[in-house]
Structure formats: C-alpha cells, structure tokens
Structure 1
Amino acid sequence: MPEKTASTLPTVSPLARVVGTLAVAAATLAAEYGSGVNLVLVNALGAQPGVTYLVPVALVAAGFLLGPAVWLFARFAQALPRAGSVYVWMTRTVGLRTGFAASALYVVGVVGSIGFQSYGFAVFLGSLLKAVGWTSGADLAQSPGGHIVLGAGLLLVFTLLQLGGIRSFGRVMAVMLAMVLGVVVLTVAVCLAGDPHAFAAHAATLLGHPVHRPADDTPSLSAFLGVLVLFIYSYGGVSAAPSLGGETRDGGTLARGLVRGWAVAIVLYGVVATSVFHAVPWYAVHPLAEAGHQDAASIPGIIAVLAPRAVTVVFDLFVVVVAGKTVAPLMVDCSRVMYAWSQDGLLPAACARTTRRQVPVVPVLVTAVLGLIFLVEEATAGFQIGIALRSVTFMLVIAVVGVGWLGLRLRPAALRPQWAQALVERRELLFAAPAAIVVSVIMIAKGFVQPDTPLLLQPAMQALATLVVAVVLWVTAKRRRAAISLVPEPADTSVAP
C-alpha cells in the first residue's frame, strides 16, 4: 500500500453530482448497443468462421462471463464513487504505477473504440442514403474520406454535448435508451418474419454463386473463444459507466445503474442475435465478408433485404442515431480518467479545472483529438484494431481491480483504508474477484494476437506503444512533482473530488 504523503495534490474543480440511476443505466447500454451489435454481430463470422451457428450463444455467453466483474465493479462503485472510477480503484489498491499503466492501456482502448464507433457511423449513414435512393451519396459516405469527415463531425457534436454539462448528457442518454428499444423491436419483428432463403438468394447474387451449408458445421472451440473476445467489446459500458462516479448522486446510484444496464444489454443482445440468425443463414456471412461485402452482412444490410423500403428507411434512420450516440459515453469515460490522472498530479493541474458548467474541458478536448486520430486509423487500416484492443484492455482492468480487492482482503484490518472496510467484508466477492481474474486472463491471452493482422497493428504492439507513452508521462510527472509516486488515500468519498 502506498504511504501517505504530506505533499498536496493540484487544486481541482469539483464535478456536478446530479446523475441518477436511469442515466447511468442508459450510459452503460449506450456504450454497448450501437455499432458493436449492428456491425460486429454478424461480421464476427467474417473474422472467426469456425464459430458457425454459435454466434448468438457467444454474444450472450460473453455477457454472463462478465457477471463476476459487474458485481465486483458495483461493490467498488458503492465504496468509492469517483471520477474515472476504474483508475481510482486500481491505484488505491495495487499502487499508483501499476494502476496508471493499466489505465493508460485502457484509455488507448477506449479512444480506439471511439475511432471504431465514429467509423461505423458512416457505414450506417451510407445504408440510410441507399435506402432513400441516393447511391452516389452512400458511396461517398462510405469512402475513406467520407468515414473521416462524417466521423469527425460526430466527434464535434458530442464534444459540444459534453461541454454543455453532465445533466444534458444524462437527458440525451435517456432519450437514446428509448431509441435503442425502438431499433430492437424493429430488428426482431423484421427478422422473425423474414425468409432465410431471401437472404441466401441475395448473397448468391452478390457473390455470383450459390451459398451452401458445409457438410461439417461443428463449431471450433478456438473460434468460439476468439468471438468471445470480440463480443466482450459489446459490453464495454460495464467499464465506461463507472467513470461517472464523480457525477452520480452517490455510490448506490452508480452501482444500481451499472448492474441494470448490463442486465438489459444481455437480454437485448440475446433477442436480437437469435432473431437475426433466424433470418440469415450463418454460412452465407463469411463468404460475403471475404468478398468485401461486409455492409451486406450488417444488420441494416439485412433489414434492407427483408423489409419494405419504408421500414428500411425508418430503421436506418434509427440506427444512424443509435450507432452515433455510442461515442458519447466513451468520450465521457476517457475524459474522466484523464481528469482523475490530473487529480493525482500525473497531468498538469489545468486538466482538473472545470468550466462554470463543471465540465473538465481540457480532457474533453484531448479525448476528441485522440478519437479523431484513431478514426483515421480505422478508416485506413481496418476496424478490428479498435475492437480487439478495447476488449483486451477492458479485461486487463477487470483483472487488476480483482487483484486489488484480493490485496485489500489480505491486509490486516488496521492497514485497510476506511472506505474499504465494508468492501472487503462482501463474501460474494470471494468468488467474484477470482472468477473475474480467471476470465480476464483467458480473454487477454486469446485477444492480444489477432489473426490475419499486420504486426504493427496487433493489439500487443499497440499496447507496447502505449506503455512507452505512459512511461514518458510518468517521468514527466515525477520531474514536475518529486513526490508523485506517493498518493494519499482519499479522505472523503461522499463528495466529488
């Protein structure tokens, strides 16, 4: 445990504690249900065809595998609700250096995800333009330049939303929750009524030859685990929502919203995945992805084949909004972690100052710029980097938080910080923490190296580059403040830091 130090941390401005349970649940779901389910769900077969017909099972299984982590996070949220919660939990349990390194990797995974979501926005807008008959506009939107311009516009919109204050953010997330439910209802209704032969015939037209079910469709365990890694990405709100800890009314609000958002996500994913693969033969998807027809294998592409044009237009309009909104909670997540870094002196004090609307403006702007950089990478190098890196770093954070709880549990009671006294007595965490660690280690091992990906674009290489940047930030911070390696325990967690 780091010793306490008499040195003072930089002067910081407080955040507004106004976010309620509904907004937290909506933010949890908003960071999950968007480009991930509409684009990655079916295209998972493009990356791992050996999973065959088990894609819906894998999507739901990924959610249940995160159950111990959700419970662990919820208990930490009750005990220590702070801005950039996962960073705070790690540094207060395993030490500043380890916690900062893990959070730096996590932040890069988040901004990579912001790039992917911004990239996906143009895909769905292109589908909408095709549905209304503007083919040339759709082609322009889905060109590399179109992805970058439209994604940059999306980042600008949500940067302005954040600068308007967290209360406005919460209201928008509640509205987006209603739109997510609308998309789910349309998806399920169209796909359950759809004819699988219609989509198979459409795939045959695009490919120039019929598609047939293979003689051996036995799922591969390796492919199943690989898809689990990709689908962990679809539950990223579990780690994103806790960053609102400095702006929720209390720890109970944060914990309840987190658990409810995760539970709703599992239900929605299960219903959507089952209905989609009722209408789409799984063996038609990989050939489409391999031939460069990924858009046809997205849910908007499927709806365009199965539904009347009017329904397709309405659906695509909803999906454009739902997919685009996923960027908002991710930007909040990243900016609040940076805000927490500055509280501990790892970034200049200016990063911890807020506007009159109590918004940490510098972290918000830096997040937008980093998201734009990753958007360019996604548009020019391929979207799977953002998915894999976010999944791996998400699991890394879970593992470190789990180890941190075990470390607290093993400490003598006299050496535990006051905020952790009730946390370590949670007997259910004796199962949840080790289970979360085991799942995380398996997923990290499976996800650090991606098949058919150039060496420089592998998640492992991205992580290595991130650690180099983290070392530079650390050394810079130490030179700025000689005592930065010693962080005092938070004295009062009942108010915003």
Structure 2
Amino acid sequence: MTAPSPTYRLDKSLGLFAIVASAVTQEYGAGINFIVPQSIGVYPGIANLVPLAMFATGMVIFLKVFLYARFSEAMPRAGSSYVWTVRALNLPFGFILHFVWWASITAAMGFIAFAFGTFLGNALIAAGIAGGHAILTPPGHLIAGLAALWIIYAIHVAGIRDYGRLVTILLILVALTAIAVCVIGFATSPAAFVRAASARTGLTLAPPAHPAPFDLHAFLAVCTLFIFAYGGLSGAPALSGEARDAAHTMPRGILFAWITSVVLFTLVSAALLHAAPWWAAAALIAQKHAALVTAPGILGLAAPHAVAAIIGLVIALIVGKTLAPQMVVTSRMVFAWAEDGLLPPVFAETSHRRAPVAALTLTVVLASLFLIQATYIGWAFGVVARSITILLVWLAVAIAALNLRLNPRLRSSPWSEPFRRSLFTIPIALLSIVVTIAFIRSVIILPHTPFYVQPLFQGGVMALIGAALYLRARAIHPDLAATTATLPLE
C-alpha cells in the first residue's frame, strides 16, 4: 500500500531565477548605496581600497556559499540555518543564536524603512518636488516607512507567486540601475567631482600630501562592515520550503546569487569611488556633508540633473524593496520555530494562498515598532551588530558542517552525506572559522561608543531574551529536544 503524500502548507512554486532574484534584491540596497561610500568616514585608513575590500569580502564569502549550498542540498527547509545548526549541533544553542540573528534582521527592517524615507525625500527634492521636505520630517519618515512595510506585507500575504514576480522585476531594475551608476561613475573624472563638490559646499578639497601606509585593521573592519552588504546570501535558503526541487535548485541559486552580487558590488563601488576620490569623500563626511557621499549624492554631482533625479528616485525604490526579501527570512524563521514547538502552532499555519500570515504579521508589527524607534528615538541595533550576527551564524554553520563530517554518531544521519562525500568540507569549514573570528575581533568593541550601542551588549540582551523564550517553550513541551531528531516537514 502506497504511503500518503505529505500535506504541505507552503506553496512550492519558485524556480531558480526567483531564488537568485530574492537573494540579490535583498543585498543590493542600503549597503551598496549608503554604507559603502560612508565607510570611508568611519575608517578613513581604508583610503582608496574600498572597492578592493568589497571584492575581497565577496571572495571570502565563497566559503559561506559552499557551506550554505551543501546544507541547502542536505536540509532544504524554510528555517534554513536554524534547522541546520539545531539538527547538527544543539537545540538551545541554535535557537538562541538565531533569535539574535532574527532580531537583528527585524530591527534592520525598521532602519531600512526609515532610510527609505530619507532616500525618497532627498530624491524628490532633487527632482524639484517640494513634497520631499515633508517626507524628511519625523511624521513623513514614519508614514513613508509604514507604507513601504505594509504594502510589502500585503504582497506577501497574497502568496509566494506574487513575491516571485516582484523580485524578478526588481532584479531587472537593480541590474539596469547598476549599469547606469557604473557608466556615470567611470565617465566622471575625479577632478570634475571635486569641482562640483567644492562649488556646492564651499570647501577646498585636496589630496593628502603624504598618503598614510596600508592600515590592516581598517581594511578588516571595512570588510566586516561589507558582510552586511552580502547578508542577502544568508537569507536565500529561507525560500527552501517554497522552491521547486529545493535540494537541487537552492544550491545553484545561492551560487549564482553570489556571482551576481560580487560582480555588481565590486563594479558599483569602484565606479562611485572613481568619481568621488576617497580623500574628497572623507573630507565631505568630516565637514558634515555626508549626504553627498552616498550613491544618490555622488550621482547628483556627477550626472546631469534630470538623469540624477531619475536615478535617485529609482535608488529610493531599490532601498525600500530590500524589505521584501527580509520579510521572507524573518517570517519563515518564525514558521520554522513554530514547527519545532518553540512558538505557538498558529505561527506554522498558512492561509488559503499558502502564506504564513501569522508569522508575517508578527514580523511587520515588530518592524513597524523598530521604525518608530528609529524615527523618534534613534537607531539602536547598528550595522556592525547586524554584521556580527551574520558572522556568528556563519561560524555556527561551519562548526555544524565539521560535526556532520567528523562525528561518528552522525554517520548514519541522512543529512550528513553531502558533507562526507566532499573533500572540501573540512578545509572550508576550518577557514570559515578562522575568517569569522578574525572579522568579529576587528569590530567587537567599538571605540568611543556608549556601552548600550556596543555590539556585545546588544547581542547579549537579545540572547537573554532568546534564552527566556527557549526555557518557556521547554517548560510547556518537556520533550522539545526530541523534535530535532528528524527534519521538519517544510
């Protein structure tokens, strides 16, 4: 007698292109348009090596790509790295770590919703539309950010097929915008940018008489910041529960997304900092003209007014669209926790369109609260803390891969096979451990920064909250750990 086929709650309809589009559109946003040029202000010792740091970070990220591709082949599930680390290591460790990661992404959604208002308001002003000034006020930031969050929420509730169509269109938009930025950036001479910036600000911008020697600490610190830009690769496997033939489609999607991101990020960062030389960017930031050292700001000085205005509006849309794939990551993580009994079962339920509405609702409500905080109080969970959580998850995934490869107790586990057959598992996992620890050490303590915004303090608070949630779930379900002996359905 044939066993009944499982009843899936998620819609398994996404193909390879949608997976690549989701990862790249999550990555190409505030990171490349804001953080990359602004990194010179935080670490001026990086000098003219920002594009090299972006490329080097992308090359190092291949270690992570290899591990994520192997795990996506072995355990293609909606909970992605949470499911992997829990099954290969330990339930409380995996949950608490991923709760901190999840909190950082949810907080980042609030920040990006706020940044969307900034980019949109400035773009409208540059286009000669007076309404841009209203958006730059606190109420304007809040209204624009809430509109972005809840419109994207509505698209998600409509079903994953609509999301797949959205990110496919957005990937095309990202590619066209990146091409335009590269053409303008490489066609603009540094001297022309300096003249335009000096005329705009009244500053005298000149290169240093004696450039400083190579600063290894600044280079590593900037590479760590750029982990934020490549963070979308961490979220790509969240679609494993909704991909067709996920065990084969997801690994290829992660690889193609990585290649696309490295090429786009390296070319765009090189183009921006070809037009705006590093010493001019550093001086503008130091003299309170940081708005000119963003992608829209640089293009506003380098391109004809009409072209810069159009690209500025498109970049604002690109920054806002980052919320769509981030909502996938956070909601599917909640879905996976509910599957394992860590959260109430309502969060593992789906609508008639097979969307996890309760998980999506929790995500958008919390992101809205973080937006309110960013608008009226200030940004609390910083970019560095977000980068560190990404690195910690990568570190845990590397340790999990080693455990699956070397632990004899896991030899019979069906999900250890992809790691045992590969000769590269051990060296890549070991290199990942070395790289992540080196990056984390470079930024774990921020100089001249209050304790409450230190990454160590913020992560510790989130870890305590995660531990409390785990203990509560274990009190309700004493046999909670037994659920991790097998994979969840989706």
TM over 0.5: yes
For residues 262 and 95 of structure 2, the distance between their equivalents in structure 1, rounded to whole angstroms, comes to 30
Structure 1: how far apart are the matches of 2:50 and 2:434? Answer: 23
**Does structure 1 conserve the Cα–Cα contact (< 8 Å) formed by 2:405 and 2:425?**
no
Q: How does 1:377-396 map to 2 (within 5 A)?
A: 377-380=373-376, 385-396=381-392
Say yes or no: does 1:78 pair with 2:73: yes
Structure 2 Cα separation of the partners of residues 51 and 40 of structure 1: 14
Task: From the superposition, tell whether residues 12 and 462 of structure 1 become closer, same or farther in structure 2 (CA, over 3 Å).
Answer: farther
Equivalent residue number for residue 146 of structure 1: 140
Distance 2:339 2:313 in 1: 41
Taking only the aligned residue pairs, the percentage that are identical comes to 33
Structure 1, residues 430-480: CA drift from partner, whole Å, max 9, x if none?
A: 221111111111112223223443211222111111011112211211121
Q: CA deviation at 1:317?
A: 2.4
The aligned runs of 1:285-324 (5 Å cut-off) are 285-324=281-320
What's the CA shift string for 1:102-133, capped at 9, x where partnerless? 11111012112212321221122123212221
Which residue number corresponds to residue 325 of structure 2? 329
Q: Does 1:118 align with 2:109?
A: no
Counterpart Cα distance in 2 of 1:381 and 1:257: 39
C-alpha distance in structure 2 between counterparts of 1:94 and 1:414, whole Å? 10
**Runs of at least 4 residues off by over 3 Å:** 205-208, 376-386, 413-416
Q: Say which SS state the counterpart of residue 350 (structure 1) adopts.
A: helix
Distance of 1:369 and 1:78 partners within structure 2: 33
Contact 1:123 1:295 in 2 (8 A): no
Structure 1 portions without partners, runs of 5+? 1-10
Judged with a 3 Å threshold, the aligned counterparts in structure 2 of structure 1 residues 157 and 219 are, in CA distance, closer, same or farther, namely farther
Partner SS state of residue 450, structure 1: coil
CA distance in 1, matches of 2:200, 2:117: 22
Verify the 8 A CA contact 1:12 1:349 in the aligned structure 2: no
Alignment of 1:462-481 (within 5 A): 462-481=458-477
Paired position in structure 1 for 2:194: 200
Distance 1:95 1:185 in 2: 45
1:399 match: 395
Q: Deviation digits for residues 327-356 of structure 1, max 9, x if unmatched?
A: 111111011111111111110111111111
- Which SS does the other structure have where 1:341 is aligned? helix
2:41 to 46, 56, 67: 46
CA gap 1:36/1:400 in 2 versus in 1, 3 angstroms: same
Q: Is the contact between residue 73 and residue 418 of structure 2 (CA under 8 Å) also seen in structure 1?
A: no
| Partner residue in 1 for 2:3 | none
Q: Which amino acid aligns with 1:276?
A: L
Map of 1:8 onto structure 2: none
CA distance in 1, matches of 2:48, 2:381: 24
Are residues 321 and 188 of structure 1, via their aligned partners in 2, closer, same or farther at CA, if it must alter by over 3 Å? same
- 2:241 is paired with a residue of what secondary structure? coil
Question: Within 2, Cα distance between the matches of 1:415 and 1:182?
Answer: 48
How many angstroms does 1:367 deviate by?
Answer: 1.0
Change (3 A) 1:477 1:384: closer
Deviation of the 1:385 alpha carbon: 3.9
The question of 1:22 aligning with 2:17 is answered yes
Confirm whether residue 368 of structure 1 aligns to residue 364 of structure 2.
Answer: yes
1:21–1:256 Cα contact (<8 Å) kept:
yes
The 1:137/1:293 distance shift into structure 2, 3 A limit, reads: farther
Structure 1 contact 121–150 (Cα < 8 Å) conserved = yes
Instruction: Note closer, same or farther for the CA distance 1:363–1:13 as it changes in structure 2 (3 Å cut).
Output: farther
Unaligned 5+ segments in structure 2 are: 1-5
**Greater Cα shift, 377-386 or 289-298:** 377-386
Q: What TM-score do the two structures reach when normalised by structure 1? A: 0.93
Distance 1:281 1:114, change over 3 A: same
| Conserved 8 A contact 2:46-2:215 | yes
1:211 aligns with 2:241: no
3-state DSSP of counterpart to 1:244: helix
RMSD: 1.9
Partner of 1:443: 439
Q: Residue 410 of structure 1 aligns to which amino acid in structure 2?
A: L
Counterpart Cα distance in 2 of 1:444 and 1:146: 36
- TM-score scaled by structure 2? 0.94
Other-structure match for 1:284: 280
Amino acid of the structure 1 residue aligned with 2:242: E
Go from structure 1 to structure 2 and tell me whether the alpha carbon gap of 1:233 and 1:488 turns closer, same or farther (over 3 Å shift).
closer
Letter in 2 for 1:64: M
Q: Does 1:173 align with 2:137?
A: no
